[in-house]
Amino acid sequence: MYKVPLKDGVLDMENGTFIQIKNLKKYFIEEPDLLMKLVAKKKKRVVKAVDDISLDINKGETLGLVGESGCGKTTLGRTIVRLYEPTEGKIIFKGEDITEARGEKLKEYRKKAQIIFQNPYSSLNPRKTVRQILSVPLIASGVKDPHEREERIMYLLNRVGLNYRQMDSYPHEFSGGQRQRIGIARALAMSPEFIVADEPVSALDVSIQAQIINLLEELKEELNLTYLFIAHDLSVVYHVSDRVAVMYLGKIVEMGKTEDIFFNPLHPYTKALLSAIPSIDKSKRRERIILEGTVPSPVNPPKGCRFSTRCFVKKGKMCEEEEPELKEVEKGHFVACHLY
Amino acid sequence: MTIKNGIVPAKYYEVSYKKSNLITNLLSLLGKIKKHPTALIGMLTIIAYILMAVFAPFISPYSVKYSDLSARLLPPVWSGGTWAHPLGTDQVGRDLLTQIIYGSRISILVGFLTVLISASIGTFLGAIAGYYRGTVDTVISRFADFLLSFPFLIFAVGVMAVLGPGFWNLILALTFKSWVEFFRLVRGEVLEEKNKEYVEAAQALGRSNGAIIVSEILPNIFQSIFVLATLRMGYMIIMEASLSYLGLGVPPDIPTWGSLINSGRNHIFDAYWISTLPGIALVILVLSINLFGEGLRDILDPRLKVEGSE
Amino acid sequence: MLEIRNLKVVFQTDRGVVKAVNGIDLSLERGKILGLVGESGSGKSMTLLSILRLVPYPGKIVEGEILFEGEDLLKKSASQMREIRGKDIAMIFQDPMTTLNPVFPVGEQIRESLRVHNIIKPEKEGILGFLRERDRRKKEYEKVVELMEKVGISYPEKRYFSYPHQFSGGMQQRAIIAIALSCNPKLLLADEPTTALDVTIQAQILDLLRQINEVNGTSIIFVTHDLAVAAEFCDEIAVMYAGQIVEKGPVDKVIEEPKHPYTKGLLRSIPKITRKKEKLYAIPGNVPDLAFLPPYGCPFYERCEEAVEECKEATIPLIEVSDGEFVRCIKYL
C-alpha cells in the first residue's frame, strides 16, 4: 500500500517515505540526587547521544548506519523503535507520527517495528526455554491458541535454520550463531515490516557471520522487510546496505548510496574511517589517514563542526564556529561539511 | 546433505529432544546435591528435624504438658538416669526429650515463616526500587539504611517489649529488620539484570514493566534469593532462641529451645542437661542449615555463569 | 628464537576431556611477526597462554616442548618462569579495561613492571636507604614517562597519575603495551589486542606495534580472528581449527593461494568492498565441540566442501607443500 518511488536514492517527498526521522534528539540526563546536589554541588550531566538527526528510510531498503563507539548509532536505533523515549523531534512511520504514541497505538507500532540485538549471550533470557522466549511476542501479537502458537514457533525456528525440536532447550545449550538465529526468530514473530539490526553479527565468528548475513538478506527478500543495519564493521555494512549514513558524535556527517560513500567519500571523517579498514586484497588498501586525538565526549561536544578538533583539512575559523548543515552535494549524496 | 545459500537444513542440527521444566531442574539439582557431601549432610539433617517437628505428637514419649513433680531434675540416661526419661527431666518434671522435640516446631516454624515473609517483602521492594529507581528507590533505600543502623537483637527486644509476647508479635519483630537483607540483594541484582539486552528485548516487544520484572528478571535472581533465604533461616532460629531466652518470645507455655535454655540457667552445675541439650539441638540444626545453604551456593554459583564466549 | 613442538593442552571437565590444543608445531624467527588466525575454540589463545605457562585450571599442558632461545620453557621452575614473564616474553590481552587495575594510577602500574624485574637497580644498602629509594622512584618515573611517550600517550607527565577509567580504550591499550615493553622483551604475545577497539584506533595500535617490531626488533605472535588484519600486519600466518594448525606459511602465499578448504572458506566468507556485490559464501555448520572430537579423521570433515570418504578416517599430519608452506589436508599427501 505504501509505494515509495525510489529514483537513484532520491526520496520522492510527494508520495511520502516509509520512515521519516525529523530533528530527532535523544539526550541522557544524569540528575544527581538531592543529597549530592546540596552537599557536593554536583550538577546534572547531559549526554547528547543523538543531536538533531533527520533522515528518511525507504521501504524495502537497507540503510546502513556506521560510526565508532560513542557516536550514537545504537541510541538512534533504539530510539526509533521507542525503546528510548525521544527527547525532541519526530518519528513518522508510514505517514503517522508515532513519536508520542501510547497504549494501543504504541502496541501497533511495536508489531511493525522490531529490533535484533548484538549480544547473543545476553539478549535471551537464560532462564527461559526457546518456546517461552518465542511465545511472548506471539501472545503480544494476539495469537491466543497455544496450538497455533506451537505451530508458528516451529515454523519460525525452521525458517531461521534451527531444529524445531530444540524448542524446549535453554539458550546456553546453543552456540552464539544459533542464539542469534533465535533472536531473529523473536523479532520475526511479530511479523514486522521494519527491523533495526543493532550490530547483529559483531559478536559472532567469521564463518557464522556470513551465515547470519545471508539469512537476514533472504528474509528481507521473502518478507519484504526494511532494515536499519547498525554496524561498525564497514565491510559488512558495504555488503548489506543500499544506502549508508555515517555518524559522528550524535550527528550525521555523510549519507548516500553505498557505492558513493565507499568509493567517493566526501567528508574527511568518512575518508579517515575508510582508510583504516584492513583489507585482504593488497590492491584495495588505501593510504592510511591517521586521526589525531580521540573522540570528544558527547557531554560537551565541540562548538561548530564536531569533527573540527581532529579534522585534517580544516578550512579555518568557520569550522570551529559554525555547525555545517547536511546538504545534498550530489544526487542522493549528502554531506555536512564546510568544504562543500 | 544439501547446503543451500549457507543455511544448513534443520536436520543438521539434530539434538536429542529434551523436555526441561521445573521437575527435571529440581531432580538434577538433587543429583548435584548428592555429590556434595556437606550439602547432603545438611539437607538430610534438616529433613530429619522437619520430620521430627511434624510428627512430634507421634514420636515423643510423653504429651507436651505432662509433668511429674516427683520426677524432677532427673539426669539423662548416660549420667545415671533411666530410659523412661532418656534425656532427663527439668525442674518441674517435664520430659526433656519431649520438650526438645516439640521445641523444634517453634524454631523451624519461626525460621521458615520469618524468612518467607521477609524475603517476599524484601524482594518486592527491592525489585521496585531497582527497576524504577528515582524517588521510590531513594526513599526505600534510605529507610533501609536507617533500619540497618540498629543492632538486630536490641531492635527485636525493643519491639517485643512494646508488643508483648506472642507468636505473631515475634514474627513481626524478626521480619521488621530482616527484609532489608533481601531488599539489598534483590535491588542489586535487578539493577544488573535491567541493563541486559533480554530485558530490552522484552520492552521492545511491548511487555508491561510488571510483567518484565516478574517473568523475565525474577527467574534469573531466584537462585540468589533462595541461597540467602537458606542462610538467613539459621540466623532467625538463633534470634528466636535468644528472644525466648530473654523471655520475650512466645508465651511461656509453648516450649522453645530458647526458653528451655533459659530455664536451665540456674541449674547449670547440678542439672546441666536442661540448658545444654536444647542448645546442642539448636546448634546442630543451624549448622545443618548453614552447611546446606553454603553447599547450595557452591553448587549453583558456577552454573549461574552462562557459558559465554571463550 | 621460539619453537613449539607438538604442544597439547587438555581440559578435564565434567563433560569430558576437552582437547583445546591438539598437537601444534610453530616456529618464529627473530624480528618476525607471526599471526595465529582462527575462530573461537580454535585454541589460539590457549597456545599463547601455554608459552607463558599461564594455562588456567582445569587445563594442563600434557605434551610438547616450547623452546625459547634454545631452552624448553616447559621444564623451567616456577621462579624461573616468573623471571621470564614480563621481561623476556611479554603479553597483551584483548580487553584493556579489565587488564588494568582500576584502583591504581596507570603510571604506577607501568612502574610496577619495572620494579618487579628490577630494571632500575637499587643502590647498595646504607643508612640513607630511604633516600636511595626516593632516588630510585624518581628514575623509574622518568623511565615510565619515556615509555608512555614512546607508545604515543600525550602529556605523559600528567597522565602518569590518571586512573584507567580516565583513559579512552585506545589509550588504555597503549598503556598496556607500555607495560609490556617496559623490560624490553624479545617476544611479545598479543591476544586479539585490537578486537575491542574502533577501526581507526585499531589502525593506530597496529602502527605502533609495527614500529616496535621494526625499531626494537621485537618478535610478535599476534592472535586474531580477523584475517584482514593478519594479512596486513603479519609476516607469517598460521590458521588454526579445532586445536590444530591446518595451514601455515608466508602471509602472501596463504592469503593469495590458500590451500586448506577452511582457509579458502574463511577468505570467501569475508565481505569485500568491491564494485561487484556477490552473495556471501558461508561455511556451513558450526565450530565443533572440542569435548567430542573424533580421535582420528579430519576435524573439518563435516563442513568441508572438498571432502572425500577417506577424510573421515585418516589422520593427516602437517605437510610441507613448498618452502615454508604447510597444509594439513589429504589432498596434499
Q: What angle, 0 to 180 degrees and rounded to 10, lies between the N-to-C axes of helices A146-159 and A176-188?
A: 130
Mutating which of C153, C166, C171, C199 best tests the A interface, going by the most A Cβ atoms within 10 A?
C199
Report CA-CA distances (Å) from B56 to A88, B49, B103, B202, B259: 69, 10, 9, 49, 18
Side chain identity at residue B78, one-letter code: W
User: Which range among A15-24, A276-285, C62-71 has the greatest average pLDDT?
Assistant: C62-71
Is B12 within 8 Å of chain C by CB? yes
Read off the pLDDT of residues A142-174 as tens digits, 9 standing for 90 and up: 888 888 888 889 999 988 988 888 888 888 888
Domains and CATH numbers, chain B: 35-303 (1.10.3720.10)
Task: Provide, as residue numbers in chain C, all residues whose Cβ is less than 8 Å from the Cβ of A285.
Answer: 232
Give the nearest chain A residue to C233 (CA atoms): A278
All three cell numbers of C163, joined, read 586512573
- Residues in a beta bridge with C224: C37
Is C121 within 8 Å of chain B by CB? no
Whether residue A1 is contained in a domain is answered as: no
Give the nearest chain C residue to B3 (CA atoms): C284
Distance of alpha carbon A76 from its chain centroid, rounded?
A: 6
Is B309 within 8 Å of chain C by CB? yes
Q: Does A140 contact B206 at a Cβ distance shorter than 8 Å? A: yes
Is the pLDDT score of C128 beyond 70? Answer: no
Comparing A240-249, B4-13, B34-43, C226-235, the range with the smallest average pLDDT is: B4-13
Give the nearest chain B residue to C39 (CA atoms): B310
ipTM rounded to 2 decimals: 0.80
Alpha-carbon span B303 to B244, nearest angstrom: 40
Task: Provide, as residue numbers in chain B, all residues whose Cβ is less than 8 Å from the Cβ of A114.
Answer: 204-205
> Looking at residue B310, what is its pLDDT?
27
Distance from CA of C281 to the nearest CA of B (A): 7
Is the pLDDT score of B16 beyond 50? Answer: no
Single pTM value for the model: 0.81
| In contact, C200 and A291? CB cutoff 8 Å | yes
Whether residue A232 is contained in a domain is answered as: yes
Task: Provide, as residue numbers in chain B, all residues whose Cβ is less than 8 Å from the Cβ of A171.
Answer: 306
| In contact, A247 and A73? CB cutoff 8 Å | yes
Contacts with A76 (C-beta within 8 Å, 6 or more apart), sequence order? A24, A26, A50, A53, A65, A230, A247
> Looking at residue A192, what is its pLDDT?
92
Whether residue A299 is contained in a domain is answered as: yes
Confidence of residue C238 (pLDDT cuts 50, 70, 90): very high
Is C284 within 8 Å of chain B by CB? yes
- Count the domains in chain A: 1
Burial B31-49 (b: 16+ CB within 10 A, else e): ebbeebeebbebbebbeeb
DSSP B269: T
DSSP B213: I
> Looking at residue B12, what is its pLDDT?
34
DSSP string, A195-255: EEEESTTTTS-HHHHHHHHHHHHHHHHHHT-EEEEEES-HHHHHHH-SEEEEEETTEEEEE
Is the pLDDT score of B2 beyond 50? Answer: no
Whether residue A340 is contained in a domain is answered as: no
CATH number of the domain to which A99 belongs: 3.40.50.300
Task: Provide, as residue numbers in chain B, all residues whose Cβ is less than 8 Å from the Cβ of C305.
Answer: 3
Give the nearest chain B residue to A177 (CA atoms): B309
Task: Provide, as residue numbers in chain A, all residues whose Cβ is less than 8 Å from the Cβ of C272.
Answer: 235, 279-281, 284
Domain with A262 in it: 6-335
Read off the pLDDT of residues C290-325 as tens digits, 9 standing for 90 and up: 777 777 888 888 888 888 888 888 788 888 888 888
> Looking at residue A65, what is its pLDDT?
94
Region B78-92: mean pLDDT is 82
Q: Does A173 contact B200 at a Cβ distance shorter than 8 Å? A: no
Is C261 within 8 Å of chain B by CB? no
> Looking at residue A227, what is its pLDDT?
94
The mean predicted confidence, pLDDT, of chain C is 86
Option in A125, A129, A178 nearest B20 (CB):
A129
| In contact, C88 and C108? CB cutoff 8 Å | no
Is B308 within 8 Å of chain C by CB? no
Q: Does C282 contact B6 at a Cβ distance shorter than 8 Å? A: yes
Give the nearest chain C residue to B309 (CA atoms): C40
Alpha-carbon span A332 to A322, nearest angstrom: 24
Domains and CATH numbers, chain C: 2-88+186-332 (3.40.50.300), 101-184 (no CATH)
Task: Provide, as residue numbers in chain C, all residues whose Cβ is less than 8 Å from the Cβ of A276.
Answer: 199-200, 202-203
Give the nearest chain A residue to C284 (CA atoms): A211
Comparing A72-81, A262-271, B267-276, the range with the smallest average pLDDT is: B267-276
Neighbours of B23 (CB within 10 A): 9
> Looking at residue B174, what is its pLDDT?
87
Option in C202, C203, C281 nearest A210 (CB):
C281
| In contact, C200 and C137? CB cutoff 8 Å | no
Option in B15, B201, B308 nearest A166 (CB):
B15
